Amino acid sequence: MANFSYLSRLIEQAIQANQIDSYYLIGYSLGGRIAMYYACQSQPTKLKALIVEGANVGLKRPAERLLRLKHDQSWAKRFRSEPMDNVLSDWYQQAVFHDLSAEQRQQLIAERANNCGEHVAHLLETTSLGKQPFLVNKLLQRNYPFSYLCGEYDEKFCALSQQFSLPLIRIPEAGHNAHRSNPVAYATAVERFLTFSDGRN
């Protein structure tokens, strides 16, 4: 089962198998949630810096987690039973993707239309935000540099970063998928942060 603990172990196994002495972790959305979980739960000594883009730090209240789990289960049911392009068309109508143009939505749908619905559904269920721990306290106690990237139009996650005093870097002219919307500004921000991080280590 590809839950957070399992995926965290895979990261650790990959680091050990490749004999990596030091590394950076960077992740977007679910990838960012997995990266944060790994960094918080494993307390890795070789981690030089953590960079997260548009990823949720977790829900504090059990009632919120239960609602989100039901929400993700509803999407999972659709991914299992409906044509992929139909579900993706609705997926990219969610508020967090409001900045996308019709052409950008169609491009994303076309790129993911061949995904296996069962696999997507399984991932949604096992890595639901409803099953993720609330990570803010551990993130604020970290002993490694941490940056939280958001597109300037990504109102939800910019607000989340401010709510929990996360070290926010805004990417101009970009929404939730900032690395795709403005890759030059994104790469520049990451490079600057890593240069700063290396100066601290």
Confidence at residue 43, expressed as pLDDT on a 0 to 100 scale: 75
The residues spanned by each domain of the chain are 4-58+132-198, 62-127
Question: What topology is assigned to 4-58+132-198 in CATH?
Answer: Rossmann fold (3.40.50)
Which ranges of 93-182 would DSSP assign to H, the alpha helix?
A: 102-112, 117-126, 136-140, 155-163, 178-181
Q: What pTM did the predictor assign?
A: 0.93
Give the separation between CA 62 and CA 27, rounded to whole angstroms: 26
Confidence at residue 201, expressed as pLDDT on a 0 to 100 scale: 55
Residue 18 reports pLDDT greater than 80 = yes
Confidence at residue 153, expressed as pLDDT on a 0 to 100 scale: 95
Task: Give the tens place of pLDDT for each residue, 141-165.
Answer: 988 999 999 999 999 999 999 999 9
Q: Which of 79, 124, 97 shows the shortest CA–CA distance to 180?
A: 97
Find out whether 49 and 193 touch, Cβ atoms under 8 Å.
Answer: yes
Task: Give the tens place of pLDDT for each residue, 70-96.
Answer: 999 999 999 999 999 999 999 999 999
Percent of the chain with pLDDT over 70: 98
Task: Give the tens place of pLDDT for each residue, 40-52.
Answer: 988 788 999 999 9
Confidence at residue 94, expressed as pLDDT on a 0 to 100 scale: 94
Confidence at residue 159, expressed as pLDDT on a 0 to 100 scale: 96
Percent of the chain with pLDDT over 90: 89
Confidence at residue 198, expressed as pLDDT on a 0 to 100 scale: 73
Pairing between β-strand 47-53 and β-strand 146-151 as defined by DSSP bridges: parallel
Residue 200 reports pLDDT greater than 70 = no
